[in-house]
Amino acid sequence: MHLRYFFELIALAALWGASFLFMRVAVPEFGPIWLIAWRVFLAGLILLPVLMHQGLVGELRKNLKPLFIIGAFNSALPFLAYAYATTILTGGFTSILNATVPLFGVLLVLLGINKETLSWTQIGGFLLGFVGVGILLGWHTSTANPHFWLAVMAGLGAAFLYAVSATYIKRSLVGVSAVVIAAGSQLAAFLLFLPLLPFSVPTAVPSLIAILALIALAVFSTALAYLMYFRLIRILGPARAVTVTYMIPLFAMIWGSLFLHEPITWDMIVGCIVILTGTALANGVFTRWRKKKSTIHKT
């Protein structure tokens, strides 16, 4: 990987890690529904001119149904779930739950939904990843309340929806431009939120800090992050681009600690390491690295 693209992956991880900080700042004043509705609306508006400039409006119209499905299950519901989770959990803790997305992808293979072949190492990685989740949660069992467990289930549920959505995209949006998927899904998600907005109006006008956090969430952690991610997929391929997932919790914990003084606890560190190790095993990262290293030695 060229050094430039490696730094772009780090920048992308920093942007997505910051999304948990921005949600933590803005969600208490906007509420989860209004925050996410504005997030997807602003992101969609930013991406729409890019789509129009590339002459992809016709492609958008042809794929309205699958885009609405992706808007619901890859944006609206998981974004909302994470926004709710950050009202109770720290941004770093929530981001570690988000890191289980590739593990749920392996689960779909084990259930026969994804037709792929898994090695015993990958299955072991899957099990190790969920041991990491257990470690992460184990320290909280004595002090946890029903709201804590509901927030955890929301975070894990969002991760599962991301995995399911990835499968659906592969099957139903083959050959569709990444910009069309990104812009169309964000705008579709906003339309799904519209009926809920009158029933979830904030009790007071949000502060300037909350508004700026919302704008940063939509512009940098959604619209710009999507464009960077899809560009890296095109240049590096999905296997390398997805490694950004492994760095997001690190940045989420750093931003939360720096700006919100959130504690970085031992259970978060140990649980994160175990989850990411299991995820890497489950996705064959170490196997690919060994093969690449072997090839280099042979040459």
Of 48-52, 107-111, 135-139, 194-198, the one with minimum mean pLDDT is: 135-139
Among 216, 244, 239, CA closest to 229: 244
For the segment 59-72, the average pLDDT, to the nearest whole number, is 95
Q: Tell me the torsion sign for CA atoms 112, 126, 131, 262.
A: negative
Among 3, 27, 122, CA closest to 81: 27
Structure-block tokens of residue 93: 């803790």
For the segment 49-69, the average pLDDT, to the nearest whole number, is 95
CB atoms within 10 A of CB 251: 24
- Supply the pLDDT for residue 132: 78
- Supply the pLDDT for residue 285: 63
Cβ–Cβ under 8 Å, residues 79 and 40: yes
CA atoms within 13 A on the CB side of 259: 20
Mean pLDDT comparison of 56-65, 116-125, 174-183, 235-244, highest-scoring range: 56-65
- pLDDT of 254 strictly over 70: yes
- pLDDT of 18 strictly over 70: yes
pLDDT in tens, 198-211: 999 999 999 999 99
d(CA 218, CA 221): 6
Among 132, 94, 140, CA closest to 278: 132
Among 22, 50, 35, CA closest to 228: 50
Cα-to-chain-centroid distance, residue 111: 22
Place of tokens 């099957």: 171
pLDDT in tens, 139-165: 655 456 889 999 999 999 999 999 898
pLDDT in tens, 208-230: 999 999 999 999 999 999 888 88
Residue 176 in 3-state DSSP?
coil
- Supply the pLDDT for residue 109: 80
90: left (phi over 0), alpha (psi -120 to 50) or beta: beta
Q: What is the DSSP letter of 87?
A: T
- Supply the pLDDT for residue 227: 87
* More confident: 121 or 222: 222
| Mean predicted lDDT score pLDDT of the chain | 86
Place of tokens 């998981």: 78
Of 9-23, 46-60, 194-208, 223-237, the one with minimum mean pLDDT is: 223-237
Q: Which residues contact 30 (CB under 8 A, 6 or more apart)?
A: 38, 202, 206, 210, 214
pLDDT in tens, 166-193: 888 888 888 888 899 999 999 999 999 9
* More confident: 78 or 272: 78
If pLDDT is split at 50, 70 and 90, which confidence band does 265 have?
confident
For the segment 33-49, the average pLDDT, to the nearest whole number, is 96
Query: With pLDDT > 70 as the criterion, what percentage of the chain qualifies?
Result: 89
For the segment 245-261, the average pLDDT, to the nearest whole number, is 89
- pLDDT of 136 strictly over 90: no
Element containing residue 199 per DSSP (H, E): none
- pLDDT of 69 strictly over 90: yes
Among 20, 255, 299, 62, CA closest to 173: 62
pLDDT in tens, 76-111: 999 999 999 999 999 988 988 998 887 888 788 888
Among 193, 16, 157, 20, CA closest to 78: 157
* More confident: 36 or 128: 36
